[in-house]
Structures are given as C-alpha cells and as structure tokens.
Structure 1
Amino acid sequence: MPGDPPRGSDEKTVAGGVLGLRRFTPARIALGRTGTGQPTAASLRFMMDHARARDAVHAALDFNAIAQSPRSLGWSVVHVRSAATDRAQYLRRPDLGRSLSRAGRFDLESKAQGSDVVIVAADGLSASAIYSNLLPVLDHLRPLLLARGREIGPLVLVEQGRVAIGDEIGELLDAKLVVVLIGERPGLSSADSLGAYITWRPRIGTMDSSRNCISSIRLAGLLPDEAAMQIADVIDAAFVHSATGVRLNDLRSAASTPPTGAHIR
C-alpha cells in the first residue's frame, strides 16, 4: 500500500530521498523492517547505544587519573565534591549537584586569587564525555587564553557536579569568568558529548539566561580544537561587553547592526 514502510532489511528497498538523509545524521531513520519489526542489526545497535548511554550516566570517573595530564602541562588542579554524597543521590537531587560540599568550599576559600578565567570540569551526566574530550579541549584552550593575556586560575575538578556549581566556585575564587566543561545528558547517538557553559561574574543564584553554551563537543560533533576556539572567542566578547548569555548576544548583535537610516553598501 502507498505510504507503508519499506519491506526487507536491504537499504535498496528504502526510497532514495529518505535513505540519502542517513549520510548527514546518525539518527535512526530509514532503517527498513523485517516482517513487523526492525532489522536485527538495527535492533542490536539500539540496545548497544542504550547500554552506552546508561553506562555514561552511572559510570564513576577516576578523577586522580584525569588530573595527571593537566598537572603535567602546568595546570594547578583542585579536586572537590558537590553536596551529593553519591551517584544515586546526585541523580535524585539535582539541587545538591549545584552546591559544593563543606570540605570543597573550605578548600577553595583558601585559593581565592582573583583570576580572569577559572575552568571547572564536572562529570555531569556523562563520565564518557570527560574521558574522551576534556583533555583535548584543555590542550587547545590553555594556549589560546594565555596568548590573549588571560590570567588562568586553578582547574577545578568536580565530582557529582552540575552546571550551576561553577557559580559558587567562581565566586569563591573571585574569578571574572568561569567556564564549566561538563558531561551532557547522553542520547542514543551521543553518549560522550561535552558541554561548555561560560558565565561572566559568576555568583550563586546566577540564572541560566546569563550563560553562553557550546554543546556537542565530541569527535563526531564539534571537534575539541574548534570548541576551544569558540570558547576563547566568547570569552573575548565577554571581557569586551562585561556580560555573557542573552545580554552578551544582544550587545554583540547591536554592535554588528548598522544604525537606522544607514546606507548598506
């Protein structure tokens, strides 16, 4: 019947126009069917991707191992924990992941130095994202910031952290700007995606509308070197306009818009 899904698992049975879309996305489209179900290969891939997504959320991150490479490259590294005592509580209580533990707060209070930029790396909802993408991003980002004259504070590794924990960390360290690199919520086609959240003058209670986000940092998405360049460009704009988030976007848009009545050549 017209409109029925294609029969058989052979891709040749799928309409060329729909099948062509598969070249541009890992999304599950034009899979075909076997009888009334999916082809076996597609079903197995779905189960594998689902398992990877679950593992990304529940896996524990070895912070000691993660800290070794940045230290060897000259980073001052601090490891702290959020107020969530374990992974189960972290998943049930998002609010606890936004605040430091007492010990973590004490550790950072003694390290306030008023730097330009503080980088925070948190496991978030994907340990896989940190393992795969954190070090490549740091390797490209650090020289970009130093070349632009930015004073970089310590690299803060946060266990059981969420985006807003960067506000408290930035406030404690008296940073002008904080960049939170965090494992994003995994999907069935991207279990290892890293996000970067950039906040000017971080303070507890900062709204999400005051941040800029660069997402999908991964080898199959936004490459780490390209992400580092985008992060550095947003940081430059933040220092020019003393803002991030919606306000920064509006200011940059206004700066690039010709005045009313101006002739466009």
Structure 2
Amino acid sequence: MTLLPSEQYQPDHHADPWEKLKQFTDARIALGRAGCSIPTQAMLEFQLAHAQARDAVYQALDVAQLQQAFSAMSLTSLHVQSQAIDKETYLKRPDLGRILDDDSKQILKDDRQNNTGEYDVCIVVGDGLSALAIEENAVAFVQNLKEQIDLEGWTLAPIVIATGSRVALGDQVAEILNAKMLVMLIGERPGLSSPDSMGIYYTWDAKTGYLDSKRNCISNVRPAGLPIAIATQRLMNLMRNSKKLGLSGVNLKDEHQIQNIESDTPSRLLF
C-alpha cells in the first residue's frame, strides 16, 4: 500500500479579491480563507449574528417602556394580546396571532364607546418576529408620523400595542376602532445581519379577513436600512393618495420621490 503525503495548507489568511466591495453591504462576501476553511473571525461573527437573530425572535416586547414613551408624547396607548398566548404558540400557530383574545376585544370596544366618531388613522405597534426592531425604531417613527398626521389635520386613534401579533391582527383592531387608515408597525423576520428590521403595513378601510393584496408594505426600516425620515415620507405619500382614491394594496402605487434628508446619523451604503 502506497501512502500519499498529506496536503499542507498555509495557515495565513488569504484576502478575497472582492474585499473592497464589503464597504457597500452587510452581506457575507469576501470572507477570505484560512487554510481550507473560512477565518475564525468570520465564523465567530456568523455565530454571533445567528444568536442575535434567535434572541430577537424570542425576546419579549417591553410594553411598559413603550407606553411610557408614548405617554411622554401625550399619546394614549392601549395594550392588546392575540390568541397566541406565548412565543411557542405564536411560532407554531400563525393563525392565532391574527386574532385578538376576548379581553383585548373588550378593551377596544370600551374605548370605542367613549369615542363614537370615526378616526382617520389607527397605528398598531406589534412585536411580530422581532421585538427588538419595535423597541429600537417604533417610538421615533410614531413621533415623526404624528407630526405629519397633525399637519394633515387627521384624527389619530389611541396607539395600540399588540403582543403575539401577526400583520392581519391590525385589521381587526382598526375595524373595532372604526379607523379608515391602518398603519401596522411590526418586527420583521430577523436576517443574519438585520435583527432590528421593522416593517410598515398600510391598509385603507381595514376589515377582518382582508387579503395581503389589500396592503402596502414598506420594509427594512432601521438605522442600517431605510431611515425613519424617508420611511415616513413614503408612508405619508401612500396615505394621501389612498385617501383620495379610497383604496390601498396592489392598486395603489408607491410613486414617491425621495427628498433630501438632513441627518446627524452617518450614512450607510447598501450593496
């Protein structure tokens, strides 16, 4: 039997020719190699990102902190819960995350009795698949949006904080509160470089059982993604056009031209 000499690999790190492209994206490109494998640092960063994504999914929403923040903005808030009573149920039964529990329905009905008029706008803040995204982005977004709503002269329903929520839960909330325009903020499914991404779903005259084709979506709202100021511009453009046309979803096109935004936050390019 003839033994072949084992192949020897150089231990030093070999740079990737795409290295210069890394400045434009958070995607895992140009990792280089060490011997026949990826460098240890790249492996550790991947494991950290994976852990952060899992933590974002299982993290409980700090409702008290949100209520305090909204109260400081002179906004009334209500806390509701879906029929997905815990995180395990939420992940295994998406259908239950779309339905309010009985106590929550009563909370909204009680508010409706005290405010018999029609609201122009209802904002629902739902934990979704990333409570982290909501805790880091929702308050600043609501503050920006409220300023624009006030300028339009629209009436705003109490902010509804929803736990165990899927996107369609907002339809039931807006229907009970009798609000024409529904803005649903929800934590998006975390990626390996974006555990803090918030999605915005807009629906005109939302009703229980609406299909996703009735909604408009603005996604990836976060510091390293779509800035809050631009997301607010895009949403307000949709809302103004929606109010004129009386519809939303696939028949409502996002034709917004982005204005220049001054910000103290350093710009981050995406590939």
Q: TM-score normalised to the size of structure 1?
A: 0.88
Does residue 222 in structure 1 map to residue 226 in structure 2?
yes
Give the match for residue 211 of structure 1.
215
Residue-by-residue CA offset, 1:64-96 (whole Å, 9 max, x unaligned): 111101112111100010011111100110000
Q: What aligned pairs does 1:1-265 form with structure 2 within 5 A after superposition?
A: 8-10=12-14, 13-15=15-17, 18-112=18-112, 113-249=117-253
Separation (CA, whole Å) in 2 of partners of 1:194 and 1:248: 21
Where 1:78 maps in the other structure, the secondary structure is strand
Q: Is the 8 A contact 2:62 2:135 kept in 1?
A: no
Separation (CA, whole Å) in 2 of partners of 1:8 and 1:179: 52
Give the match for residue 3 of structure 1.
none
CA RMSD in angstroms, aligned pairs only:
1.7
Mind listing any 5+ residue stretches in structure 2 that lack a counterpart? 1-10, 257-271
Q: How many residues align?
A: 243
Where 1:153 maps in the other structure, the secondary structure is coil
Where 2:165 maps in the other structure, the secondary structure is coil
Separation (CA, whole Å) in 1 of partners of 2:47 and 2:179: 44
Structure 1 residues 236 and 8: CA distance shift in structure 2, 3 A: farther
User: Deviation at 1:206?
Assistant: 0.6
Give the match for residue 258 of structure 1.
none
- Letter matched to residue 14 of structure 1: D
User: Deviation at 1:8?
Assistant: 4.8
Residue-by-residue CA offset, 1:32-69 (whole Å, 9 max, x unaligned): 11112110110010000000000000011110111101
Q: Is the 8 A contact 2:148 2:236 kept in 1?
A: yes
Separation (CA, whole Å) in 2 of partners of 1:160 and 1:45: 30
User: Deviation at 1:171?
Assistant: 0.5
Q: Is the 8 A contact 1:136 1:225 kept in 2?
A: no
- Letter matched to residue 72 of structure 2: S
Q: More displaced, 167-176 or 103-112?
A: 103-112
Separation (CA, whole Å) in 2 of partners of 1:9 and 1:235: 52
Separation (CA, whole Å) in 1 of partners of 2:12 and 2:204: 55
User: Deviation at 1:20?
Assistant: 2.9
Where 1:182 maps in the other structure, the secondary structure is strand
Q: Is the 8 A contact 1:8 1:32 kept in 2?
A: no
- Letter matched to residue 183 of structure 2: V
User: Deviation at 1:21?
Assistant: 2.2
Separation (CA, whole Å) in 2 of partners of 1:123 and 1:136: 16
Mind listing any 5+ residue stretches in structure 1 that lack a counterpart? 1-6, 254-265
Separation (CA, whole Å) in 2 of partners of 1:110 and 1:23: 52
Where 2:132 maps in the other structure, the secondary structure is helix
Q: TM-score normalised to the size of structure 2?
A: 0.86
Normalized per residue, the structure richer in helix is 1
